A and B are shown apart, each in its own frame.
Chain A
Amino acid sequence: QSVLTQPPSVSAAPGQKVTISCSGSSSNIGNSYVYWYQQLPGTAPKLLIYDNNKRPSGIPDRFSGSKSGTSATLAITGLQTGDEADYYCATWDSSLSVGEFGGGTKLTVL
């Protein structure tokens, strides 16, 4: 059972917008940055969003992150079939010594 709660799946049509939620507590998200990772089928995860809402170089601005209190949200606009992947939120516990992942959300672009 993951410490962070994500919906198991979300879906939307190409070109549409989708959001993925990540719920935690004051002992993790509430006191630490949130990160989002994209895992395309059969590949290693890739950093998508860091420090709640920052994008690494090369990540398109269709991907955005936000955090409020003990929850975080990943938004993807202008959905493409290539966005079909598993998305994981992550953070650190309040002591910044234990990493924590969400259970992952499978995105289907219909």
Chain B
Amino acid sequence: QVTLRESGPALVKPTQTLTLTCTFSGFSLSSSGMCVTWIRQPPGKALEWLARIDWDDDKYYSTSLKTRLTISKDTSKNQVVLTMTNMDPVDTATYYCARIRRTVDGSQLSLPFDFWGQGTLVTVSS
């Protein structure tokens, strides 16, 4: 079965760089159509999409955060890493990774987040 698990520091200081790892099983990120994405949720607030990496190493970023984000994959380890630079207290949130199984339905591309990790809370504070 498909599982994903986020890991990383629970606490980071302002201006530091956050590195989060998504370790997954049940699928391969080298298989055509497979993608992994990152989403975050500040306490009590809405979900915010951050980034996505596809099986062919195409990468996509949130327009507002693209200068601070880098996503990469290690297919042999079944891991996806997200780094976010210059952390600020407003970046305090639960960070989720999720799988996308990209399919084509006629002329439309389907990109649902079909499996999610449990999330990891990152607090930014000095």
Is B96 a contact of A45 with CB atoms below 8 Å? yes
Instruction: Tell me if B125 counts as interface (CB < 8 A to partner A).
Output: no
Is B114 a contact of A47 with CB atoms below 8 Å? yes
In the complex, chain B residues 10-69 whose Cβ is within 8 Å of any chain A Cβ: 37, 39, 46-49, 52, 60-63
Query: Within the complex, what minimum Cβ distance (angstroms) separates A9 from chain B?
Result: 13
A98–B49 Cα gap in the complex (Å)?
A: 8
Is B48 a contact of A47 with CB atoms below 8 Å? no
Residues of B contacting A32 with CB < 8 Å?
A: 108-109
Is B113 a contact of A104 with CB atoms below 8 Å? no
A51–B113 Cα gap in the complex (Å)?
A: 11
Chain B count of residues within 8 A CB distance of the other chain: 25
Query: Within the complex, what minimum Cβ distance (angstroms) separates B32 from chain A?
Result: 16
Instruction: Tell me if B118 counts as interface (CB < 8 A to partner A).
Output: yes
Query: Within the complex, what minimum Cβ distance (angstroms) separates B53 from chain A?
Result: 12
Chain B minimum-CB-distance residue to A2: B46
Residues of A contacting B60 with CB < 8 Å?
A: 97-98
Write out, one digit per residue, whether chain B residues 102-124 have a CB within 8 A of any chain A CB (1) or not (0).
Answer: 00010011111111111100000
Given known contacts A45-B47, A98-B63, is B114 in contact with A37 (CB within 8 Å)? no
Instruction: Tell me if A30 counts as interface (CB < 8 A to partner B).
Output: no
Given known contacts A2-B46, A37-B47, is B37 in contact with A99 (CB within 8 Å)? yes
Write out, one digit per residue, whether chain A residues 38-71 have a CB within 8 A of any chain B CB (1) or not (0).
Answer: 0100011111001100001000000000000000
Is B105 a contact of A102 with CB atoms below 8 Å? no
- Which interface residue of B48, B110, B117, B119 has the most chain A CB atoms within 10 A? B110
A88–B41 Cα gap in the complex (Å)?
A: 12
Is B112 a contact of A47 with CB atoms below 8 Å? yes
Residues of B contacting A56 with CB < 8 Å?
A: 114
Q: What are 17 A-B residue pairs whose CB atoms fall within 8 Å in the complex?
A: A33-B108, A33-B109, A35-B113, A44-B116, A44-B117, A46-B116, A50-B114, A51-B112, A56-B114, A88-B46, A88-B47, A98-B60, A98-B61, A100-B49, A101-B39, A101-B49, A104-B46
Top 7 nearest A-B pairs (CB, nearest first) are A99-B49, A50-B112, A44-B116, A97-B60, A101-B47, A104-B46, A103-B46
